[in-house]
A and B are shown apart, each in its own frame.
Chain A
């Protein structure tokens, strides 16, 4: 059974930094691209970032480019999202998402999400 478990959310002050982690199991992690998608409270889904199966290619939405860094450790089956210069509008539930294949950009499994609140 595919499982994606996010951690690292919580309250952070504006301008602060936070790293999210996603522990994956139930599939060959190193064979799939992985993504982060976020959802502000009461709002729709927003695509954030992607990383290829070997970590060699990454993509960022304009809203987070230069502030967020996606990475992965295939030896630990773990995906990361390092976020810096956090703003109030970064407040959201962050979902770790599995690509349906090596790099298709549609998603067959989602984690339960971790809430990040940016506030003083």
Chain B
């Protein structure tokens, strides 16, 4: 099974900061990676698919990059609505999620 590891597990940042979250796969998953945002008590929301494709309606401050085993999600200028937990997900072989990164207010 493919294991997904996210870092950091918690990130403290301020509005306007550039934020980067890393996701590593235990083996190559090509570009078959998605990113989701989850707010407390809510279902996750798709942000990015195929490593770097922005889902319709998602603000352009979100971007994804990477291939193979290392991937990043970047928020170019953190907004108040972006404080949430972010998950990566591989879908190269069935599906597996990373452990999550909580972005909290500094």
Contacts and interface: CB of A to CB of B under 8 A. Distances in A.
B36 to A, nearest CB: 8
Nearest to B43: A110
A105 B3 CA distance: 16
Nearest to A100: B49
A45 B55 contact: no
Nearest to B98: A44
A45 B100 contact: yes
Contact of B91 (A95, A105, A111, A113): A105
A45 B94 contact: no
Given A105-B94, A106-B34, A44 B46 contact: no
A100 B49 CA distance: 10
Interface residues of A, number: 20
B97 A105 contact: no
A112 B39 CA distance: 12
Contacts of A35: 95
Contacts of A32: none
Contacts, number: 50
Given A44-B87, A45-B44, A105 B55 contact: no
A105 B95 contact: yes
Contact of A44 (B91, B94, B95, B97): B97
Contacts of B89: 45, 106
A22 interface: no
B87 A113 contact: no
B99 A95 contact: no
Interface of A: 35, 37, 44-47, 50, 59, 62, 95, 100, 104-108, 110-113
Interface of B: 1, 32, 34, 36, 38, 43-46, 49, 55, 87, 89, 91, 94-100
